[in-house]
Amino acid sequence: MHAAQNPRNMGRWRERRIRVGSRTLVATPVLDTYWRFAVARQDTFHRRLNGVTPWTTDPVIAAHRFTNAYRASDRVSQYLIRHVLYEGDQSYEEILFRTLIFKLFNRIDTWEYLIDALGPIAWKGFPFERAEKVLNARFESGARIYSAAYIMPSPAFGASRKHANHLRLVEHIMKERTAAKVAAARSLEEVFTLLRGYPSFGDFLAFQLTIDLNYSTMLDFSEMDFVVAGPGARDGIRKCFLSTDGLSDAGVIRAVADMAFDEFERLGLNFRDLWGRPLHLIDCQNLFCEVDKYARVAHPSFCGQSGRTRIKQRFTPASEPLPQWYPPKWNIAASTSPCHSLGSALQPRLIT
């Protein structure tokens, strides 16, 4: 695998100019690291999945926690796809409701705690007051309710605690017949705009929810249709490019997704994709976020807007098996991967 080079040991480096339509992007050495990181992180994924050790020889990846090259392969996304989107009633209302309850907290243990206390999560007859009391008890016990992955401001629905306000927000969204509006949307951008209109949903969270719903049977748009850059991705873009010549962050992500094959070839890299599925816009967005973190160690002289200089989360390996589930509409072929169908047309594919 290719660990990134530290520019302190590289001497002077030459700017690389990349033509994108009428614009000229000026790339730094961090862009080469972007591609090397994608290869190294995806190799780690495949080696771990197949029980091959060591999982990585890249010292930065070995020591720190990074998401997968493909967003859908991450632990929380995998749980969402298998246990939230494809288990239970497949009506649009129920898919949206389960997704909102899961993603507003974005913690598997919070979801399972609610199920243990309340039974299956369903919009029809959901006991909001009991759910609030259950989460109050969990909060008072000192347990975390929210993931640290997203900043989740409390919407103004009159409750004293954030989780109670979020439950009220979900109830408000459902009563506005949002599921039917989402299902009738004509594009990912239209879904994003609809969700972005609700309190507590900034650009980044609204986009993440849009992608989550697009994994389900509710929507079926291409992930190459629309992208929104999160704060980490914006930092990564600024480390990879000295200038983007006025191209928007979303435009840069699209340009990078379009050039992926040529870039891997230019660098002599063998990118092991997701059994025939190439990197999509959401994946390239995530990779910018991850290379922002990676560059704090590998390229400390390149700074983003946040000014962060270290990676907070250390990597702790888990020994449990790593099954993978993907939406069946992706058609990850059994003939070219370890995938096999689980039977029902509504069930995702399982990789063992």
pLDDT at 306: 61
- Average of pLDDT values for 247-276? 97
**Reduced 3-state DSSP string for 143-202:** CCCCCCCCCCCCCCCCCCCHHHHHHHHHHHHHHCCHHHHHHCCCCHHHHHHHHHCCCCCC
Q: Which range is least confidently modeled, 229-233, 234-238, 315-319?
A: 315-319
The letter for the amino acid at 22 is: S
- 168: its two tokens: 């009220």
pLDDT in tens, 183-219: 999 999 999 999 999 999 999 999 999 999 999 999 9
Tokens of residue 192, six digits: 């994003």
HSE-CB of 121 using CA atoms within 13 angstroms? 25
pLDDT score at 122: 98
In the chain, the largest separation of any two C-alpha atoms, in whole Å, equals 65
Closest CA to 49 of 274, 335, 260: 274
What local confidence, expressed as pLDDT, does residue 237 receive? 97
- How many Cα atoms occupy the beta-carbon half-sphere of 223 within 13 Å? 28
Distance (Å, rounded) from C-alpha 41 to C-alpha 158?
A: 44
Instruction: Say what the pLDDT of residue 14 is.
Output: 82
- Euclidean distance between CA atoms 203 and 195, whole angstroms: 9
Position 98: which residue type? R
pLDDT at position 6 is 41
Model-wide pTM > 0.75: yes
- Indicate the domain borders of the chain: 7-71+226-298, 87-215
User: How high is the pLDDT of residue 260?
Assistant: 98
- What's the CA gap between 218 and 178, in Å, rounded? 12
Sign of CA dihedral 211, 69, 52, 311: negative
- At 222-233, the pLDDT tens digits run 999 999 999 999
**171 pLDDT above the threshold of 90:** yes
For the chain, what is the mean pLDDT?
88
More confident residue, 253 or 343: 253
